[in-house]
């Protein structure tokens, strides 16, 4: 019987010839385990302080990477203390200094994991806290956040996994050329399969529309898997994946792919040729509308960033729309590149000039507003964001409204001060 | 571990996001000491403001599909524990919610049919080891595959860290 890529990766990582969904296995990984400062903060009073208290070893200090990912230089709260504690903890544990990606070298840690190829295709990959680690499933790796159990992983060098079933999503057709991006495809699929459509499983994205997507768009597509009830997401590596990986690492890898007769708990086929720019109105994550339905709703805040909409190509589309234009004085648009690499590539273009001249604020690479750590929303404010989540309080006040949309829709809407269709700007 | 849990049912309907309906995520930053006890005072309050006052130790939360929807944030699991809830019975659980809860020592049982088998306040009994559920009012019963031994051990210890603490005490973890 055929196997899915997920089953093959987990069998390899568990040292077994094969696994089937529902099996409990102990999994080890050659990859580093990564902590954003945000996740370091969340787990430090749980597992990490226990490691210190018990005086036990961590499995391999050289395989711990700590990234200043969610706060950025402009965030407040206890981030200064967290930065300092993370450095001190790393030193005490023997984590090499070059494994610390501090301010100036950081960015959203799951995006950096993709850029640095911290997981190679065919490997299981773990992080402290970050449900959007599914992003790097686009490399053909199995990504999983450890969350509360992160400290236990550090002590044991392994974790338990209940082998998940797989849900295959086949995207047929050609995406519309104007104003529609991977995040619209995700919202379209979410609207069809619903918030339990991926329940407990792994979303395996396949099909001609996926094959045509750039790596930036594939990462974006994989980043939101949890909102379908899925655990994580994955893609079968193709030539584009292999080129991306080989251009970034010399390490050898042994990729895995699903067999044609692999078993899926469900297979969903969708034609994406007629998908429109979509918007997720507050406060529920799974209720999806078209931009046409919500056009005209007034807003005064925008955010382009996050692992869903903060990749280089998203900066490009924002620049295309904003070039030579100015946002109204009563609108604040935060455009945050996801990583230092993206910012560096932007510096080779005139994008930053475009954003500054348009009246946007461009913080250093981080998750930032997405997770309510900078440029917070006040009660009564209305924001449109290329971010992941819209529950009350996500970006500040519980009385602020968050609409989610693709980066083009955010840029166009901020120019008009109301939700706008980006297609007329492209 | 005898694995026998008894308590009354609190039914919550609809999709329960770990970061909103179960417990506002912002609280995990706003409360400087986000212990289960502190978070427990806010458990489910965005849905039922009085829940933390009404729930009694050992009661069950009964939920529909995808309990703990969304992120891998475990403050919500801590709030349920801190409110005194003995176990969560649901049609299905979000994968990260399930994993975090078990590692925190909170039993979460995916039990299809449970919502139809329970009315608000019903006295319930769950045997984790035998994999049985019984509504003590209606006598309706359901069964489930019991968790494997290592998860039962984790639940009995009160979570993965109490278990590792015990292992360290027994010299089963290498010293720095």
The residue ranges of every structural domain in chain B are: 4-169
Q: A410 and A332 in one domain?
A: yes
Instruction: Look up residue A379 and give its two tokens.
Output: 């009660």
Question: How much is the average pLDDT of B69-91?
Answer: 97
Closest CA to A414 of A370, A379, A378, A383: A383
Cβ-based contacts of A131 with chain B (< 8 Å): 70-73, 96
Residue B33: pLDDT band with limits 50, 70, 90: low
For chain A, what is the domain count?
3
**B99 to chain A, minimum CA–CA distance in Å?**
9
Q: A292 and A258 in one domain?
A: no
Q: Is B89 exposed, middle or buried (0-12, 13-18, 19+ CB in 10 A)?
A: buried
The DSSP secondary-structure symbol of B69 reads B
d(CA A189, CA A40): 33
The DSSP secondary-structure symbol of A325 reads -
Q: Convert the pLDDT of each residue in A165-188 to its tens digit.
A: 999 999 999 999 999 999 999 999
Q: Which residue of A has its CA nearest to B165?
A: A54
Which residues of A lie closer than 8 Å to B, measured between beta carbons? 24, 42, 45-47, 50, 54-57, 77-78, 129-131, 145, 147-149, 151-152, 155-156, 160, 164, 195-196, 199-200, 226-227, 229-231, 283-286, 372, 389, 391-394, 398
Q: A32 and A12 in one domain?
A: yes
A392–B168 C-beta distance less than 8 A: no
Nearest CB to A24 within list B77, B148, B173: B148
Q: Convert the pLDDT of each residue in A369-395 to its tens digit.
A: 988 888 999 999 999 999 999 999 999
Closest CA to A282 of B14, B20, B77: B20
Instruction: Look up residue B130 and give its two tokens.
Output: 């035998």
Instruction: Look up residue A31 and give its two tokens.
Output: 């990859």
- Mean per-residue pLDDT over chain A, rounded: 96
What per-residue confidence (pLDDT) applies to B34?
83
Taking CB atoms within 8 Å and a gap of at least 24, the contacts of B32-39 are B32/A78, B34/A45, B34/B75, B34/B78, B35/B78, B35/B82, B36/B78, B36/B79, B36/B81, B36/B82, B37/B82, B38/B82, B39/B75, B39/B76, B39/B78, B39/B79, B39/B82
Measuring CA to CA, how many Å separate A76 from each of A70, A71, A285, B98, B105? 11, 8, 27, 32, 33
Closest CA to A270 of A196, A195, A198, A168: A168
Q: What is the three-class DSSP state of A16?
A: coil
**B91 to chain A, minimum CA–CA distance in Å?**
11
Q: Which residue of B has its CA nearest to A287?
A: B15
Q: Is B139 exposed, middle or buried (0-12, 13-18, 19+ CB in 10 A)?
A: exposed
Q: Which residue of B has its CA nearest to A60?
A: B176
Instruction: Look up residue A367 and give its two tokens.
Output: 């998750």
Dihedral over alpha carbons B88, B91, B96, B101 (to 10 degrees): 10
Question: What DSSP element (H or E) covers A244?
Answer: helix A239-246
Alpha helix positions (H), B9-159? 26-30, 36-40, 51-54, 75-82, 95-103, 149-157
**Of A126-140, A148-162, B29-43, which range is least confident?**
B29-43
d(CA A80, CA A71): 10
**Residue B107 contacts residue B131 (beta carbons within 8 Å):** no
d(CA A258, CA A214): 21
Give DSSP secondary structure letters for A389-411: --STTTTB-TTSEEEEE-HHHHH
**A147 to chain B, minimum CA–CA distance in Å?**
6
Measuring CA to CA, how many Å separate A305 from each of A75, A223, A226, A330, A384? 15, 13, 19, 20, 11
Give DSSP secondary structure letters for A60-110: -GGGEEEE--SS-TT--TTHHHHHHHHHHHHHHHT--GGGEE-TTT-B-HH
Q: A95 and A19 in one domain?
A: yes
Angle (CA) A192 A198 A201, round 5°: 165
A393–B99 C-beta distance less than 8 A: no
d(CA A141, CA A30): 12
Q: A18 and A84 in one domain?
A: yes
Q: A142 and A20 in one domain?
A: yes
A65 has pLDDT over 80: yes
What per-residue confidence (pLDDT) applies to A325?
98
Cβ-based contacts of A391 with chain B (< 8 Å): 17, 19-20, 25, 70
Nearest CB to B176 within list A42, A57, A200: A57
Q: A175 and A123 in one domain?
A: no
d(CA B103, CA B157): 10
**B46 to chain A, minimum CA–CA distance in Å?**
10
Tell me the fold of B4-169.
Aconitase; domain 4 (3.20.19)
Residue A57: pLDDT band with limits 50, 70, 90: confident
A50 has pLDDT over 70: yes
B29 has pLDDT over 90: no
Query: What is the share, in percent, of chain B residues with pLDDT greater than 70?
Result: 98
Q: A87 and A195 in one domain?
A: no
**Last residue of one domain, picked from the residues A108, A134, A162:** A162
Instruction: Look up residue B24 and give its two tokens.
Output: 């506002």
A79 has pLDDT over 90: no
A229–B92 C-beta distance less than 8 A: yes
**A20 to chain B, minimum CA–CA distance in Å?**
16
**Of A52-56, A169-173, A174-178, B51-55, which range is least confident?**
A52-56
CB proximity under 8 Å: B 39-98 to A:
46, 65-66, 69-75, 77, 92-96, 98
Nearest CB to B95 within list A24, A54, A231: A231
What per-residue confidence (pLDDT) applies to A374?
87
CATH number for the domain including A77? 3.30.499.10
What per-residue confidence (pLDDT) applies to A354?
98
Beta strands in A318-419 (DSSP E): 332-335, 382-385, 401-405
B73–A195 C-beta distance less than 8 A: no
What per-residue confidence (pLDDT) applies to B32?
65
Cβ-based contacts of B42 with chain A (< 8 Å): none
Closest CA to A10 of A174, A91, A124: A124
Q: Convert the pLDDT of each residue in A249-266 to its tens digit.
A: 999 999 999 999 999 999
**Last residue of one domain, picked from the residues A271, A303, A318:** A271
A116 has pLDDT over 70: yes
A47–B72 C-beta distance less than 8 A: no
d(CA A119, CA A92): 26
What per-residue confidence (pLDDT) applies to B2?
83
**Last residue of one domain, picked from the residues A250, A271, A292:** A271
B99 has pLDDT over 90: yes
**Residue B155 contacts residue B128 (beta carbons within 8 Å):** yes
d(CA B73, CA A303): 23
What per-residue confidence (pLDDT) applies to B172?
81
Say whether residue B104 is in contact with chain A using an 8 A CB cutoff: yes
**A283 to chain B, minimum CA–CA distance in Å?**
10
d(CA A140, CA A256): 7
Cβ-based contacts of B150 with chain A (< 8 Å): 24, 160
Confidence (pTM): 0.97
What per-residue confidence (pLDDT) applies to A106?
87
Measuring CA to CA, how many Å separate B140 from each of A256, B65, B117, B136, B137? 46, 20, 6, 8, 8
Nearest CB to B161 within list A24, A151, A283: A151
B174 has pLDDT over 90: no
A225 has pLDDT over 80: yes
Nearest CB to A229 within list B29, B74, B94: B94
Q: A199 and A79 in one domain?
A: no
**Residue B62 contacts residue B11 (beta carbons within 8 Å):** yes
A131–B72 C-beta distance less than 8 A: yes
d(CA A397, CA A394): 8
A329 has pLDDT over 70: yes
CB proximity under 8 Å: B 107-146 to A:
none
Instruction: Look up residue B81 and give its two tokens.
Output: 């524990």
Cα B17 to chain centroid distance, Å, stands at 14
Q: A405 and A266 in one domain?
A: no
What per-residue confidence (pLDDT) applies to B143?
98
Q: Domain of A190?
A: 166-271
A315 has pLDDT over 90: yes
A283–B175 C-beta distance less than 8 A: no
What per-residue confidence (pLDDT) applies to B51?
98
**B54 to chain A, minimum CA–CA distance in Å?**
25
Residue A49: pLDDT band with limits 50, 70, 90: confident
């Amino acid at each position: 019987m055929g196997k899915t890529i997920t089953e093959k990766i987990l069998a390899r990582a568990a040292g077994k010839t094969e696994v089937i969904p529902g099996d409990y296995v102990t999994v080890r990984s050659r990859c580093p385990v990564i902590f954003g400062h945000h996740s370091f903060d969340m787990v430090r009073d749980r597992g990490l302080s226990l490691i210190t208290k018990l005086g036990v070893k961590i499995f391999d200090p050289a395989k711990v990477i700590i990234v200043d990912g969610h706060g950025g230089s402009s965030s407040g709260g206890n981030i200064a203390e967290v930065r300092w504690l993370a450095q001190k903890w790393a030193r005490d544990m023997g984590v090499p200094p070059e494994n610390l990606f501090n301010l100036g070298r950081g960015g959203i840690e799951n995006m950096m994991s993709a850029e640095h190829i911290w997981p190679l295709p065919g490997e299981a990959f773990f992080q402290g806290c970050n449900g959007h680690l599914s992003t790097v499933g686009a490399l053909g790796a199995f990504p999983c956040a450890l969350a509360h159990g992160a400290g236990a992983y550090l002590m044991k060098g392994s974790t338990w996994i209940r082998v998940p079933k797989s849900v295959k999503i086949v995207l047929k057709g050609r995406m519309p050329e104007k104003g529609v991006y991977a995040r619209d495809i995700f919202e379209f699929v979410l609207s069809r399969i619903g918030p339990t459509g991926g329940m407990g499983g792994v979303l395996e994205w396949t099909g001609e529309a996926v094959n045509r997507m750039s790596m930036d768009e594939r990462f974006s597509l994989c980043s939101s898997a949890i909102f379908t009830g899925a655990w994580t997401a994955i893609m079968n590596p193709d030539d584009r994946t292999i080129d991306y990986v080989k251009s970034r690492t010399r390490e050898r890898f042994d990729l895995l792919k699903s067999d044609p007769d692999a078993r899926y708990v469900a297979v969903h086929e969708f034609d994406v040729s007629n998908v429109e720019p979509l918007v997720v109105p507050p406060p529920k994550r799974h209720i999806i509308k078209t931009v046409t339905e919500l056009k005209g709703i007034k807003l005064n805040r925008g955010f382009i960033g996050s692992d869903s909409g903060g990749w280089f190509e998203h900066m490009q589309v924002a620049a295309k729309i904003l070039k030579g234009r100015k946002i109204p004085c009563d609108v604040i648009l935060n455009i945050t590149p996801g990583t230092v690499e993206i910012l560096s590539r932007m510096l080779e273009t005139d994008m930053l000039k475009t954003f500054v001249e348009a009246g946007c604020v461009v913080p250093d690479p981080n998750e930032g507003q997405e997770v309510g750590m900078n440029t917070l929303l006040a009660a009564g404010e209305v924001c449109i964001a290329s971010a992941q989540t819209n529950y009350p309080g996500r970006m500040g006040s519980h009385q602020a409204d968050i609409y989610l949309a693709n980066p083009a829709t955010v840029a166009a809407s901020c120019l008009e001060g109301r939700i706008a269709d980006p297609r007329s700007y492209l | 571990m005898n694995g026998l849990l008894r308590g009354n049912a609190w039914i919550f309907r609809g999709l329960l996001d770990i970061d909103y309906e179960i417990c506002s995520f912002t609280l995990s930053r706003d409360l400087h000491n986000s212990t289960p006890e502190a978070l427990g005072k806010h458990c489910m309050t965005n849905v039922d403001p009085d829940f933390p006052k009404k729930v009694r130790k050992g009661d069950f939360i009964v939920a529909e599909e995808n309990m703990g929807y969304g992120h891998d944030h475990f403050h919500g699991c801590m709030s349920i524990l801190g409110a005194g809830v003995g176990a969560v019975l649901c049609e299905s659980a979000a994968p990260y919610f399930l994993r975090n809860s078990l590692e925190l020592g909170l039993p979460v049982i995916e039990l299809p049919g449970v919502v139809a088998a329970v009315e608000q306040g019903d006295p319930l009994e769950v045997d984790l080891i035998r994999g049985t559920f019984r509504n003590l009012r209606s006598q309706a019963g359901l069964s489930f595959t019991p968790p494997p031994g290592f998860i039962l051990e984790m639940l009995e210890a009160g979570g993965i860290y109490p278990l590792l603490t015990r292992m360290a005490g027994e010299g089963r973890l290498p010293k720095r």
